Amino acid sequence: MKFFADTADTDEIRDLADIGLLDGVTTNPSLVHKSGRDFKQVIAEICELVEGPVSAEVAATEFDSMVAEGRELAGIADNVTIKVPLTWDGLKACRVLSQGGTMVNVTLCFNANQALLAAKAGATFISPFIGRLDDIGLDGMELIEEIREIYDNYAFATEILAASIRSANHVKYAAMAGADVATVPPAVLKGLVKHPLTDKGLDAFLADWGKTGQKII
Ligand code: E4P
């Protein structure tokens, strides 16, 4: 499973990139707003930090302007992936941009038929939002399973990018369900390393090592 960082915070991205954990980055308008940075500048900076796909979302909602904005953003760097919403115009823009050789991430996916349409429109990535489905009492993980089955039935190349991830369990179950990518908030990604028995075990080993009175170097 590939890990993308779900953030527009370049300090957090640098930190994760330094330990080789990052296969890409996703941003959205809310994350850009939170960063307080200029959109195109922050995307350019992220693209220098990370070799993999960096999603930048269009703000337009109509086909022509979506394509124009997509082309403008794609000009920032070769690894920019254009994010378009799962609307009719978004699917049309997806088709045109992907046929022109630009990676496209179709976002705000909440059911399997939407994901089927995105794959047929040539999406590089489909972003089903797990957490937001859980928020309204539905099962976000079930959607990942459904999309996996449909994409495998027809050998679609579109990658399932599990989004709106809120917990370590979301990461684990998305991996078990066969998501190709998980885009994860940095705090959740760093939390994956934690287990109380790891900490307890390390404390005990270090205490016993101290008692040996030895040094390795
Ligand atoms: C990423 O591509 C999505 O925009 C993001 O994961 C949404 O997460 P949220 O539902 O926690 O805002």
Q: What is the mean pLDDT of the chain?
A: 98
Residue 121 has pLDDT above 90, yes or no: yes
What residues are paired with 184 via a beta bridge?
Answer: 5
Give 23-43 pLDDT, tens digit per residue.
999 999 999 999 999 999 999
Average pLDDT over residues 118-124: 98
Which pLDDT belongs to residue 92?
98
Which pLDDT belongs to residue 156?
98
Ligand 1 atom with minimal separation from the 185 CA: 6
Domains of the chain and any CATH numbers? 2-212 (3.20.20.70)
Q: What is the longest distance spanned by two Cα atoms in the chain?
A: 72
Average pLDDT over residues 97-108: 98
Total-model pTM: 0.96
Which pLDDT belongs to residue 79?
98
Q: Ligand 1 site: residues with CB under 6 angstroms?
A: 6, 26, 28, 107, 127, 129, 131-132, 163-164, 183
| Catalytic site positions | 83
User: Using 50, 70 and 90 to split pLDDT, how confident is the model at 62?
Assistant: very high
User: Using 50, 70 and 90 to split pLDDT, how confident is the model at 110?
Assistant: very high
Which pLDDT belongs to residue 49?
96
Q: Closest Cα to residue 182, out of 12, 23, 28, 57?
A: 23
Minimum CA distance residue for ligand 1 atom 6: 164
Distance, CA of 215 to chain centre = 43
Q: Return all residues near 74 (Cβ < 8 A) that are at least 6 apart.
A: 80, 82, 97, 102
Residue to mutate (ligand 1; options 54, 136, 183, 188; most atoms within 8 A of CB): 183
Which pLDDT belongs to residue 21?
87
CA of 212 to the centre of ligand 1 (A): 50
